[in-house]
Structure 1
């Protein structure tokens, strides 16, 4: 018999007049899972999180925590805690008072509050600082205090509303690792919303990609990146070169397509679902493209060309080239290999490129995927 999930949403919808912000969303989150909801601004993720917290009522559907519906349970009685984007720490209280605030609201005696606050501060790496003012903390330490304030209440589910959004880039990168470590330490179910794909990919056990009120796909980071179900997921998760094209021919599972600027591309149509004349969207990851100064090195690949370096975007290990196809003029974003082979590559240099058919992800233009 399967274990009851910590959180389950069944056909949850939320409408504001004629606008449906969340549209029949269903999912479940097993105990101890780091579950992220990833999507652009306005996709409905914050509305969904607020319904789980109890700050908004669903228009329809059901919400269950540990197998029990919480629709009629007020926010302060639900076994959830929430970390807000701006943390909402009380500046007039010291660290210990902030962390113990919820316990005081519950009527826990002072001695027990002191013990529980010290215990949870130790677990988040802030032992011995309970008497210090909140203003003395760095941004990352404030994040840990906000989490400690929630975790001292021992919630079944911790909700996190884009908590890293206000941090600078370097601290945000550090806190991604810390948050994942804290979640593992407490073994508490985290439900995390973000528009930042890097946050979701690095930290999550499962990710739901949300768009226009619905989940486009739920899966692991690798599943979303390497096997996107829809064109939206392929374009939103990770970097990708995108082409629009029409199917020119198909034989033996291989499909030939011609882009809007006249480039011929090849992909695999494993389901044999494409027909000549179909409009398709094509996605190719920058790291899938191989570079070579010798045409023979890429000649056997399914898609080849010659491009002039239009720009070099240096970003250490994540450096990229912008190539302009010598035949069509189309631009191609290519990950720059870190072998040192192309270290002396300069703007206006001409180089050969290619990628295999199986690296070409193809979707019917109406959004239906072909399995490539």
Structure 2
């Protein structure tokens, strides 16, 4: 696998979008939570907004839902502006992190709650509730209490309660955050399957990169109120457009260095410890003398018992952490850089131990380089 690959521009434009946000901004007094964000989401796709806590993703979702009004910009669903439209009049539904199911109601009443609020006839509510429960894999459970079902089943009830209203867009606010690890892994697959089955546009926010990478058709990586990149999971992981995306999405070694030569697309850099490295990848316009940050995926680094050549360095094993199918090995190279390596449990280095001497090597195309902050 090649860890980093070239990608195209960061703005995603799609035909027949269900949701279009244009230059959305949200200010809270002097603080700007969302800063001129624009994006489009096609009908029937799974779009994730990924970013750290406090980056503005929840504020953005709440503007789409109608719980908060933008300071400026426009927001359209199915071509119609939602500015000034109250939440209950928007063709959206929302699944919250803690689900907000009513413990005193049975499953059927929970799912049918929104329909009752809309004044739908009882016979129609019963029919639609049974249909949607069957579609989410919970047939015949409408009379059961909420405390009689598992965490995964509660997730499906929450989605059924939204989907029974037939929204154009379903908003999901970190709905897997309260689940244990094993159930969270299972629900990633479940959510993607349900989205495909309903063919409804999902807009999903999360700080968990694995959720976004597994489920999404496209991901927007958000930082400090702005989108730094929009692309497929493959593009965001293999071809991060900024240093923030490279460091936030997936695991990566970061090496501080200085550019000492530029030969076409090939950069030669020297790390702070003095070792030279070559990178053949988009360089962000770096020139000789500039400080840079080099990002290298752990799976891009190979181990050898010796050798020379480009990007080969001797080192000593600092630690070996068992991690299931792989071990996470930290190696201090001859310049003092600490490199994390993803090591399979089989092969010549399966029995690597702390203090062992090894050589690391990596291909010049398997790293990304960005200007260091303050350049």
The two structures have a TM-score, normalised by structure 2, of: 0.94
Distance 1:258 1:355 in 2: 15
Distance 1:39 1:272 in 2: 22
1:210 and 2:200 matched: no
Aligned position for 1:27: 39
Query: Matched residue of 1:100: which SS?
Result: helix
Distance 1:270 1:226 in 2: 12
Provide structure 2 residue ranges, at least 5 long, that are not aligned to the other structure.
1-13
> Which residue, out of 288, 296, 308, partners 1:284?
296
1:128 and 2:135 matched: no
1:343 and 2:355 matched: no
Aligned position for 1:146: 158
> Which residue, out of 152, 162, 172, partners 1:160?
172
Aligned position for 1:323: 331
RMSD: 1.5
Q: Cα deviations across residues 269-308 of structure 1 (Å, max 9, x unaligned)? A: 6579332111111100000001122x13xx34x2111121
Aligned position for 2:268: 256
Q: Cα deviations across residues 45-101 of structure 1 (Å, max 9, x unaligned)? A: 000000000000000001100000011211011000000000000000000000000
Which protein has greater RCO, CA pairs closer than 8 Å, 6+ apart? 2
1:332 and 2:344 matched: no
Query: Matched residue of 1:324: which SS?
Result: strand
Distance 1:342 1:211 in 2: 38
Q: Cα deviations across residues 225-279 of structure 1 (Å, max 9, x unaligned)? A: 1111100111111100001111112234322111223232211265793321111
Aligned position for 1:357: 364
Pairing 1:72-87 to 2, within 5 Å after superposition: 72-87=84-99
Aligned position for 1:314: 322
Query: Matched residue of 1:336: which SS?
Result: strand
Distance 1:121 1:360 in 2: 47
Structure 1 consecutive aligned stretches of length 4 or more whose deviation exceeds 6 Å: none
Q: Is the 8 A contact 1:253 1:272 kept in 2?
A: no
Shift of 1:329: 2.4
Distance 1:242 1:201 in 2: 21
Q: Cα deviations across residues 97-123 of structure 1 (Å, max 9, x unaligned)? A: 000000000111111111110100001
* Count of aligned positions: 362
Distance 1:342 1:52 in 2: 51
Shift of 1:340: 3.5
Q: Cα deviations across residues 28-47 of structure 1 (Å, max 9, x unaligned)? A: 10000100000000000000
Distance 1:57 1:269 in 2: 42
User: In structure 2, do the counterparts of structure 1 residues 354 and 87 end up closer, same or farther at CA, with 3 Å as the change threshold?
Assistant: same
Distance 2:283 2:323 in 1: 39
Distance 2:183 2:293 in 1: 37
Distance 1:272 1:42 in 2: 27
The two structures have a TM-score, normalised by structure 1, of: 0.94
Q: Cα deviations across residues 134-177 of structure 1 (Å, max 9, x unaligned)? A: 01111111000000000000000000000000000000000000
Q: Is the 8 A contact 2:48 2:218 kept in 1?
A: yes
Q: Is the 8 A contact 1:208 1:216 kept in 2?
A: yes
